[in-house]
Structure 1
């Protein structure tokens, strides 16, 4: 009776089904001999051969674990498919997040996607151009006014660009350096600039209508247009955009009726830079050497005060 009870209390030895073909493939891939594997598991090489030939498809679990250890893989890697599937714990679906959490997650994913697209776009975008216009605050009726547009191009260069300048109504184009492309329009003048790098200055001169009433504002506008394989981009010209028509010389920046020492040097450099574009340096120098000037609106000319 005691022996019967002892046998009934014994736990059955766990048995698993191994895949002999997989075992052989792993052993040969790792360049392990049957003798080495047999010594680790504690069986004979004949047993290893029978396992690999699927002659003993079911083995004790502890032997299978030792075999997996010898092959340096997990136990599941050498079990038959159906055996591994039975031993594997069932996947439990994660609990569905509450509605508010789902909404928050959707917003985060949307923002992350937008950020990635933005990074891709800006990495792929060509460097832009920066253009800035400088012009005097005053211009007398019927007199020539200097205008400059400085364009900052990327140091690495790139494609060329088009500069378009919209001039005030009734004003007449005089000259430019570099020359304008094509015929100067009534309200727009254009330059087609070839590829290059670094800063480029485009200078031109205009003449305001003789009959323009004093204290009239004249507005400028413009844009830089650049086209390449990525498409066409337009950037507005920044900087000064308004001139007041008055009986004041353009070199008299503060409008006090004279050209002082602080104003003469910038006027000189600008006149030299724009030589050949119609600026009257002689009149500027004469006014500077005198005590001042007045504007004769009837004759549309400056009169020097001695």
Structure 2
């Protein structure tokens, strides 16, 4: 149960039901990687929570866990267990934190350095202390010299840690997300949407992209394929990785055929990074779509598709392999005098 009281040190804890968490995640077809990315922990941590190796976790992480599973916090609480102990023991208070702390959100780069530097340092001390070691004479050296030698080793470890952390987090704040959306579209006719994520960082990193469509809009196709939630309004999700400073996500959608003309529909969304400094970045660019009888590629709504509009379509959408945005119809309209919408047949008539 959720005690609702902070422990010594000011950190509230709750008991979670690992079996229920696993069941909810599998019912919603969510991967441990997806849940771990949303909460900001490792997949090993999610596995430990589900297997009840650590039935008590920080309330802050429990809230994020519930959000990733799209349920209420009370739905994942173990109400059959007593409230977490309200304070660490004296030994726990003065003992150093364990490296396998199940509720840690330490930086992956820091953990990597700790795994390499800490064992090496311990091994060096053990070699020096061994009577059979060629360095066993060091125990005869004065205490100040031993302290100085240990301080040098710690300083070197700190420099390595700082270098590794800096390299791993290079440019993580410089992330931009931009949506390319047509200004208008005809109800019932598919139109394309492109979302680009760019960064100046040379380091790869994972992200979760969420796109919320207007209530009168339906998703059709995604490149790469999205995870769609049957909600109103519809929500599309991608789990991806930025490599080389750029990633592109595209999809087709359409307004419902009964949508009224000259109504406006808003798109919203954002990306989530595994970083406390970048908890969420909203998507910039186009966000309003107008229901219109004009084709979405006819950007100036003049009843024809000119050279500039055709080149713009090819530049933005032509390189997306497998996205069926109606290229042939656009080229047919471009090569003719124009087009008009037939409301009875619900299609475009090309004017010879």
Q: Is the 8 A contact 1:257 1:293 kept in 2?
A: yes
1:273 Cα deviation (Å)? Answer: 2.1
Q: How does 1:76-155 map to 2 (within 5 A)?
A: 126-155=172-201
Structure 1 residue ranges, 4+ long, deviating more than 4 angstroms after superposition: none
Match of 1:267 among 313, 317, 325: 313
For the residues of structure 2 that align with 1:202 and 1:183, how far apart are their CA atoms? 14
For the residues of structure 1 that align with 2:317 and 2:248, how far apart are their CA atoms? 14
C-alpha offsets along residues 76-129 of structure 1, whole Å, 9 cap, x if unaligned? xxxxxxxxxxxxxxxxxxxxxxxxxxxxxxxxxxxxxxxxxxxxxxx9994242
- Answer yes or no: is 1:251 the counterpart of 2:297: yes
1:227 Cα deviation (Å)? Answer: 1.4
For the residues of structure 1 that align with 2:192 and 2:242, how far apart are their CA atoms? 26
For the residues of structure 2 that align with 1:291 and 1:191, how far apart are their CA atoms? 40
Match of 1:192 among 228, 235, 239: 239
Q: Secondary structure at the match of 1:179?
A: coil
Mark the CA change 1:185 to 1:304 in structure 2 (over 3 Å): closer, same or farther: same
Match of 1:201 among 245, 248, 271: 248
For the residues of structure 2 that align with 1:245 and 1:261, how far apart are their CA atoms? 24
- Answer yes or no: is 1:299 the counterpart of 2:345: yes
For the residues of structure 1 that align with 2:218 and 2:278, how far apart are their CA atoms? 30
For the residues of structure 1 that align with 2:242 and 2:321, how far apart are their CA atoms? 25
For the residues of structure 2 that align with 1:140 and 1:210, how far apart are their CA atoms? 8
Q: Is the 8 A contact 1:157 1:196 kept in 2?
A: yes
Q: Is the 8 A contact 1:174 1:278 kept in 2?
A: no
Q: Which has the larger radius of gyration?
A: 1
For the residues of structure 2 that align with 1:231 and 1:210, how far apart are their CA atoms? 43
TM-score, length-normalised on structure 1? 0.55
Match of 1:240 among 263, 282, 286: 286
Q: Is the 8 A contact 1:151 1:199 kept in 2?
A: yes
For the residues of structure 1 that align with 2:259 and 2:310, how far apart are their CA atoms? 27
Mark the CA change 1:235 to 1:203 in structure 2 (over 3 Å): closer, same or farther: same
Q: CA RMSD in A?
A: 2.1
Structure 2 residues not aligned, in runs of 5+: 1-168
Q: Secondary structure at the match of 2:280?
A: strand
Mark the CA change 1:291 to 1:156 in structure 2 (over 3 Å): closer, same or farther: same
For the residues of structure 1 that align with 2:216 and 2:307, how far apart are their CA atoms? 33
TM-score, length-normalised on structure 2? 0.48
Q: Secondary structure at the match of 1:147?
A: strand
For the residues of structure 2 that align with 1:172 and 1:279, how far apart are their CA atoms? 15
Q: Secondary structure at the match of 2:332?
A: helix
Q: Secondary structure at the match of 1:162?
A: strand
1:138 Cα deviation (Å)? Answer: 1.1
